[in-house]
Amino acid sequence: MTPLFIAQIGLTLFVFFMLLNSAAVMVYVERKVAALLQQRLGPYLVGYKGVLQPLADVVKLMFKEELRPKAADAFLFALAPIISATCAFAAFAVVPFGAATTLFGLLDQPMRLQVADVNVAILVVFAISSMSVYGIVLAGWSSNSKYSLLGGLRSSAQMISYELSYALALASVLLLGNSLSLVEVVDQQAGTWLGFVPRWFVFLQPVGFVIYMLAGIAETNRAPFDFPEAEQELVAGYHTEYSSMSFAMFFLAEYINMVTVSAVAADLYLGGWHGPFLPESWGWIWFLIKVGAILFFYVWMRWTLPRYRYDQLMAFGWKVLLPLAVVNLLVTAAGVLYFQ
């Protein structure tokens, strides 16, 4: 039991706890921002300006009755929310969120602020996000309800379509970074061009960044791409039949997936923990600011844009986003070859 080992365990628990909290914070932020955009007050009764509202929601969900349709497939019905939540937590494990630190001199050697340092981290994020579709699909199928089934089918079609663009956008970045490790990609973005422009990949990959963000919204099933749960057509989509804590797990998974997509975007395109004014060891503050900005953008999008039509979503994914992503990858590859 070296101090480093204990620190690693502490870090893992810390990340787990912070992800849980981030979902609660995001619920509050989402409701407040939605209220602001719609000129309402939003939650304001529980605690100061309603900050304890997520806590009240959790308590309410815990005391609800756990329902299961009679004709549902009991095993898969119970398994689906577990898959969703597990994948959401697991994906963040490979995301670095700060430079190596000694925790103010407590450790004799620096420790990376990352739960698992995998040298193919980008692919691991992608693999886990492609596994999370099973949670939704199985929830839709096992509920034995037509709304759930339609939601599950839509989500599998949507995720397969947008995964391709997502992967090609990632591939462009790893061509630039010349590595599959997120830490190395982030470290390549340190410093500035001409003394004032930060060397972030978003300036080299503006198209890739847009593709990544759009595909990320589709992957996390957020509006304007929230077809798996389109309320007006499908009641609540894949989680129509879920109640109580198993519903809460889907809810949790959605928000944690948002945080993960934002964190990966910050690492890949916005320079991760590198930024001006702050020393390297305080870089995690920059990281938090960047992730927060992207998350705000997500919420802003949701309450500004109406939902697409389903055929528009498919046409956009296959006929616009995918060709654009392929061209972007080819141009990036040519550029990397030319300038090397």
Partner 1 sequence: MIVFYAFAAVAIGASLLVIAQRNPIYSVLLLIASFGALSGLYVMLDAPFVAVIQIVVYAGAIMVLFLFVVMLLNAPQEDTDMDERRPLPVHKGAMKFGGLLAAALAGELVWALTRSSDPGAFSGGATDSVAAIGRSLFTDYAFAFEVTSVLILVAMLGAVVLAHRDRRSRASRAAVGPVGNVLPQKP
Residues 70-89, mask of contacts with partner 1 (x by CB under 8 A): ---x--x-------------
- DSSP string over 107-135: SSS-B-SSS---TTHHHHHHHHHHHTHHH
Site for partner 1 in 92-111 (CB under 8 A): none
Question: Which of 23, 115, 159, 173: binder of partner 1 (CB under 8 A)?
Answer: 159
Q: Closest Cα partner for 116 from 183, 48, 41?
A: 183
Q: Which of 126, 200, 298, 316 binds partner 1 (CB under 8 A)?
A: 126
Task: Show the tokens assigned to 75.
Answer: 């095993």
Which pair of tokens denotes residue 242?
A: 């879920």
Our CB check for partner 1 shows the closer of 163 and 267 to be: 163
Is there binding between residue 219 and partner 1 (CB under 8 A)?
A: no
Q: Are residues 32 and 135 in contact, defined by beta-carbon separation less than 8 angstroms?
A: no
Closest distance to partner 1 from the beta carbon of 306 (Å): 27
**What is the 8-class DSSP label of residue 98?**
S
d(CA 93, CA 85): 13
Q: Which two tokens stand for residue 254?
A: 């959605």
CB of 129 or CB of 189, closer to partner 1: 129
Q: Which is nearer to partner 1, 178 or 192 (CB)?
A: 178
Q: Which helix (H) or strand (E) holds 198?
A: strand 197-198
Least separation in angstroms between residue 163's CB and partner 1 is 7
Separation of alpha carbons 77 and 84, rounded Å: 12
Q: Applying CB under 8 A, which of residues 11, 61, 78, 131 lies at the interface with partner 1?
A: 131
Question: Rounded CA gap, 3 and 179, in Å?
Answer: 30
Q: What angle do CA 149, 252, 225 make, to 5 degrees?
A: 50
Q: Which stretch binds partner 1 (CB under 8 A): 4-12, 153-161, 182-190, 327-335?
A: 153-161
The count of residues interacting with partner 1 (CB under 8 A) is: 27
Q: Which of 57, 163, 219, 226 binds partner 1 (CB under 8 A)?
A: 163
Query: For the chain, how big is the Rg over CA atoms in Å?
Result: 21
**Which residues in this chain contact partner 1 in the complex, by CB under 8 A?**
73, 76, 118-120, 123-124, 126-127, 130-131, 133-134, 137-138, 140-141, 149, 152-153, 156-157, 159-160, 163, 167, 180
